[in-house]
A and B are shown apart, each in its own frame.
Chain A
Amino acid sequence: DTAVSQTPKYLVTQMGNDKSIKCEQNLGHDTMYWYKQDSKKFLKIMFSYNNKELIINETVPNRFSPKSPDKAHLNLHINSLELGDSAVYFCASSQEPSAKTQYFGPGTRLLVL
């Protein structure tokens, strides 16, 4: 019974390609997030959606576009991938935007060659 799941777990691709990462939560939460964790393990928020509406949009290149088809799903599409996009991307969810507990997915390891 995976609470927050992400696919794929590993993604290796060439520079310039477009790729998508999918996230699903079965916790009935209203809020979902995307985080990026770099090689130094620093975890930084990218986006947050509440009930399919974007509520947090950090300084992220517009090559990154999140999409929430419903409140249980939050996908991340990346255009024109660059070497610096290589990182681990984590999806997370919480009951509401102000909730103190976030549940994280297992991460997607993206390597851009």
Chain B
Amino acid sequence: TQLLEQSPQFLSIQEGENLTVYCNSSSVFSSLQWYRQEPGEGPVLLVTVVTGGEVKKLKRLTFQFGDARKDSSLHITAAQPGDTGLYLCAGGLGGYQKVTFGIGTKLQVIP
């Protein structure tokens, strides 16, 4: 079983549509990160959320941290083909903030 469950695991949508990706856990995280990984490259950090209920916006991307710091969501408005990639949530646990990654959501935006 994964510590961080992501859903959906695969998503194929048309350009211009909106979408939401979820990251859920039964554990409380001190912080949660969202990364995007493109084929053949390493993950790149998009955002870090640390406060329960926090909402952060990055252009067309809106990130929310759950009040209990156990879950997070990523909402993309008017998806573009450039948004295509693997979206990974990751949470920090433990004294050394060992980062645990979710299984990822593979997003394809069709022009």
The answer to the question of A75 belonging to the interface, with a C-beta cut-off of 8 Å to chain B, is no
CB-CB under 8 A for A90 and B31, given A41-B106, A101-B48 = no
Q: Which of B41, B42, B101 has the most CB of A within 10 A?
A: B42
User: 7 new A-B pairs (CB below 8 Å) besides A44-B101, A90-B43, A107-B42?
Assistant: A42-B101, A43-B88, A45-B99, A90-B42, A92-B42, A106-B41, A106-B42
Give Cα A32 to B24, complex, Å: 27
Q: Per DSSP, are chain B's interface residues mostly helix, strand or loop, or mixed?
A: strand
Number of interface residues of B (CB under 8 A): 23
Question: Which of chain A's residues has its CB closest to B43's CB?
Answer: A104
Asked if A83 is at the interface (CB within 8 A of a chain B CB), the reply is no
Give the interface residue-count category, chain A.
20 to 34
Tell me if A55 is interfacial: C-beta within 8 Å of chain B: yes
Q: How far is the CB of B84 from chain A (nearest CB, A)?
A: 14
* Distance of A100 Cα from B45 Cα, bound (Å): 10
Identify the closest chain A residue to B31 (Cβ): A100
Instruction: Give the docked Cα–Cα distance between A87 and B96 (Å).
Output: 26
**Cα-based distance from A97 to B104 in the complex (angstroms):** 23
